[in-house]
Chains A and B, each alone.
Chain A
């Protein structure tokens, strides 16, 4: 379903319906999903629309750039070790209007469960999008409209076996790649101590032939930060 769709558009899948049709002199965009119905009138019919997986932080409203992935099973990481595990992350669908070499966002759609959580304390913590995932040693099969596959490299710089129950990421800089039946991202987690770690996304596709998605979250021009997230309130 991801990719370019020529006008007029009629998509029906898994309870999601997207239509883009002529309405008198204008054009009507209509989306129907479990979240309800959205209608928008476009004053000029576009030649096409583009659907891509985007960062799962736009629905119901964009209140945070942070994504907390909680492991259904605790992972114990050996000292000075480098391991990787496969997780799942929620996916949102971005509907874009192409413009020369750029894309304007028409809307985002979320079919997966939406839940938020606090990481840290009410005073200094962050509100995060919450997702609970099973942990696997091989890439799991997922429905790309709902979930993506996240390959997480875990580096343990501490000198002891340490349990990891969660990972928090900053979506500014989250790179999502997709192909027909797969949405995927890669990330790295460097454990500093039993309560502290640093996470970041890796800008590389999980498999060959995957295309890079449009990023909705980008650091501001004046903000001199990397896309790393410092987990200081437990791992």
Chain B
């Protein structure tokens, strides 16, 4: 019988066929379980939890299949411990970076500084975490590019998680003219913020005169928003603020320079010109004065 023919040791072709069948069945079973878990848990658990559970089940099933195959082929899995120890030393020297990535990946899976779907900055890469694998983490950058970062780098890099907390703050600087009433501008800005659903009531928004700039009175506007909504709100609100201020006669200042022309080295007195168009006391430009 062909199937009874010994290939090596006591392993026959039949054993090889059975082992291949078990391995194939194990891989199919692992994949099927992974797909089933992803489908059945996707609406009940968070995406990153589903990914973690399905990966654990997949790798566990695969390892069990491999151990069964080894036993069918006559290998004693306990021997792997000894062989693995020696091979591990050799293999470890040869693949330090792979092992470092593997260990970092395991630590990342348990420490979980980032989760799948979150917006993060790792080193110099910002974007959405697409997947966290054993050896690497994949990021979808905001411009849509795929970036694979080895887990060792992820583990040692500075990580900023943009969505770890439920709310976050953003800020504008609004410069108004010196001739405008800053109290009135603050009142208008507060009213606009109050009308925005996602500009949170608490923590309270802050609007105040931050500094007296060269060309404008600078108001700082600080607003808290839910992390899921802050960027949309930030993109939209500044223009609304500008329109609302202008509708009530408060202009956004822009850089201006008043040039004084004199004669005979003496400054001519022009009382109505002592203030510039921003309402601010004008400064003489030495280089331009005659």
Contact A125 B166 (CB under 8 A): yes
Contact B44 A127 (CB under 8 A): no
In the complex formed, the residue of A with least CB distance to B45 is A222
Contact with B along A65-80 (1 / 0, CB 8 A): 0000000000000000
Main secondary structure of the interface of B (DSSP, over half): loop
In the complex formed, the residue of B with least CB distance to A127 is B226
Interface size class of A (residues with CB under 8 A): 20 to 34
A118→B165 CA distance, assembly (Å): 11
Using CB atoms and an 8 Å cutoff, list the residues of chain A in contact with chain B. Answer: 60-61, 63-64, 114-119, 122-123, 125-127, 130, 220-223
What are the 7 closest A-B residue pairs judged by CB atoms, nearest first? A117-B201, A114-B197, A122-B165, A222-B44, A117-B202, A127-B226, A130-B201
A114→B194 CA distance, assembly (Å): 10
Contact A116 B200 (CB under 8 A): yes
**Contact residue among A117, A119, A123 (Cβ-Cβ distance under 8 Å from B165):** A123
User: Within the complex, what minimum Cβ distance (angstroms) separates A126 from chain B?
Assistant: 7
A119→B212 CA distance, assembly (Å): 35
**Contact residue among B166, B197, B200 (Cβ-Cβ distance under 8 Å from A60):** B197
- CB contacts under 8 Å to A, within B181-208, are 194, 197-198, 200-203
User: Within the complex, what minimum Cβ distance (angstroms) separates B223 from chain A?
Assistant: 12
Chain A residues closer than 8 Å to B285, beta-carbon distance = none
User: Within the complex, what minimum Cβ distance (angstroms) separates A42 from chain B?
Assistant: 26
Kindly state whether residue B228 has any CB partner on chain A within 8 Å.
yes
User: Within the complex, what minimum Cβ distance (angstroms) separates B235 from chain A?
Assistant: 15
Contact B167 A122 (CB under 8 A): yes
Q: List 16 A-B contacts (CB under 8 A).
A: A60-B198, A63-B228, A64-B226, A114-B197, A115-B194, A116-B200, A118-B202, A119-B202, A122-B168, A125-B166, A126-B166, A127-B166, A127-B226, A130-B201, A220-B43, A223-B44
A61→B229 CA distance, assembly (Å): 10
Contact A116 B201 (CB under 8 A): yes
Kindly state whether residue B224 has any CB partner on chain A within 8 Å.
yes
**Contact residue among A115, A125, A221 (Cβ-Cβ distance under 8 Å from B44):** A221
Task: Given A125-B166, A126-B166, A127-B166, answer yes or no on A116-B226 (Cβ-Cβ < 8 Å).
Answer: yes
User: Within the complex, what minimum Cβ distance (angstroms) separates A222 from chain B?
Assistant: 5
In the complex formed, the residue of A with least CB distance to B202 is A117
User: Within the complex, what minimum Cβ distance (angstroms) separates A90 from chain B?
Assistant: 11
Q: A115-B197, A115-B201, A122-B165 are in contact. List 15 more A-B contacts (CB 8 A).
A: A60-B197, A61-B229, A64-B226, A116-B198, A116-B201, A117-B201, A117-B202, A118-B166, A118-B167, A118-B224, A125-B167, A126-B166, A127-B166, A221-B44, A222-B45
